[in-house]
Structure 1
Amino acid sequence: MADDRMADIFAAVRRGSGNPEAGRFALHTLWNELGPAGDPLQRCVVAHHLAVLQETDAEALIWDQRALAAVFAPGTPLDDGLRCFLPSLYLNLADSHRRVGDFDGARMQLTIARGHLRILANDAYGEMIRSGLDRVDAALEAGSKERIAAE
C-alpha cells in the first residue's frame, strides 16, 4: 500500500513537470487523503513538491514549512529516510525565506542545512544540495530575491 501511494505521489510530480496546475491538483488531493496522521515521509514528499509548484514565493514558503513539519510531527521517529531529507528541506526553506525578503530567516536555515550535510554522501545528490547552498548563499550576499535558475 505504501509503495502504491509513493507511486501515486511520483506520478503527480511527473504530471506537475508538464502541467503545474494539474500537478498541484493531484498533489493537493494526495495531501488531503493522507491527512495529518498520514505517513510522515509521504506527507514530506508531497509538501516538498507542492512547494516547487506554487505560483508565489509566499505559498512556496508555506509548503516548505509543511514539508519540514511532517518530518518533525509529534511521535515521528527521525529515521534515516527522513533524516536524509533535512539538508534539502532546510535549503528550500532558506531559498523561500530569501525570495520573500526574510534574509535573516534564510541565513538561519542555511546554517541549519549545513549542520545536516554530514548525512549526505559524496555523490551527485549530495553535490546538488551543496552547490544549491552555495547559490542561495551567493544570492543572499547579493541581496537578491529573484528565483535562482536551475543548473
Structure 2
Amino acid sequence: MTSTEQLSPDTTMDAITAAVTLGRSGDTAAARARLLEIWRGIGVAGDPLHRCTLAHYLADLHDDPAQALAWDIRALDAADALTDDRVQRHHASLQVAGFYPSLHLNLADNYRRLGSWDAAAEQLAAARERLDALSDDAYGAMIRTALDEVADAVTRRSTERRPSAPGPHS
C-alpha cells in the first residue's frame, strides 16, 4: 500500500474532497455551499478529522479574512482533538503534528490581513516552532515559503492579499 492510499472508505472525506475540487475549479460559491451542508451533518462535536479538514478548506474559500479566520480557528480547534491513530486510519502516512504549521500559517495570514500584527506574529512563531514536523518536500517548501511571505508582509504592515494565497482572488 502506498502512503497515499486511503485505508478505509470515508464518504465524508470523499464529499469534502469533491467540494474542494469544485472550489479549485473556480466554483467557490457552490463549493462553500457543499462544505457548509457537510458541516451541518458533521456538527461541532463530530469527527475531528472531518471538522479539521473541512474547516481548513472552507477558510480558503473566503476572501474576507474575518470569515476565513473563523474557519481557521475551527480547524485548529479540531486538530487539537485529533490523534495520530485517527488520521492514520485515513492515510497511513499522516501525523497530526504535520497539520500545525499550515494551520498556524493560515491564522497568521488572516490576522495580518485584519491588521492584528501581534496576533499574526504569535501565529508565525507557533508555525515556525512546528516546522520540523514537515518533510523536505514540495509541500514543506510551499509552507516555508508562505511563512516567509507572511512574515515579510507583517514587517511591511501590509494587509493586502498574498498573490500565492490559496482560495478566491477578487
Task: Select between 61-70 and 32-41 the one with higher mean Cα deviation.
Answer: 32-41
Offset of 1:4 from its aligned partner?
A: 2.0
Unmatched 5+ stretches in structure 2: 1-7, 86-93, 166-170
1:26 is matched with which residue: 21, 34, 45? 34
TM-score in terms of structure 2 length: 0.82
Equivalent residue, structure 2, for 1:47? 55
Question: Greater relative contact order: 1 or 2 (C-alpha under 8 angstroms, separation 6 or more)?
Answer: 2
Query: Structure 2: which amino acid aligns with 1:64?
Result: D
Equivalent residue, structure 2, for 1:130? 144
Equivalent residue, structure 2, for 1:58? 66
Q: CA RMSD in A?
A: 1.6
Deviation digits for residues 22-43 of structure 1 (CA, Å, limit 9, x no counterpart): 0100011111111123221111
Offset of 1:50 from its aligned partner?
A: 0.8
Query: Structure 1: which amino acid aligns with 2:22?
Result: R
TM-score in terms of structure 1 length: 0.92
State the distance in 1 between where 2:83 and 2:14 align. 23
Equivalent residue, structure 1, for 2:131? 117
SS in 2 for 1:145: coil
State the distance in 1 between where 2:105 and 2:160 align. 16
Show the 5 A alignment for 1:41-120: 41-73=49-81, 76-77=82-83, 81-120=95-134
Offset of 1:77 from its aligned partner?
A: 3.2
Q: Decide which structure has greater helix share.
A: 1
Percent identity reads 47
State the distance in 1 between where 2:30 and 2:137 align. 32
Offset of 1:78 from its aligned partner?
A: 5.6
Task: Select between 13-22 and 85-94 the one with higher mean Cα deviation.
Answer: 13-22
Equivalent residue, structure 1, for 2:160? 146
Tell me, yes or no, if structure 1 residue 37 matches structure 2 residue 45: yes
Offset of 1:71 from its aligned partner?
A: 1.0
State the distance in 2 between where 1:21 and 1:4 align. 22
Query: CA 1:81–1:31 in structure 2 vs 1: closer, same or farther (change >3 Å)?
Result: farther
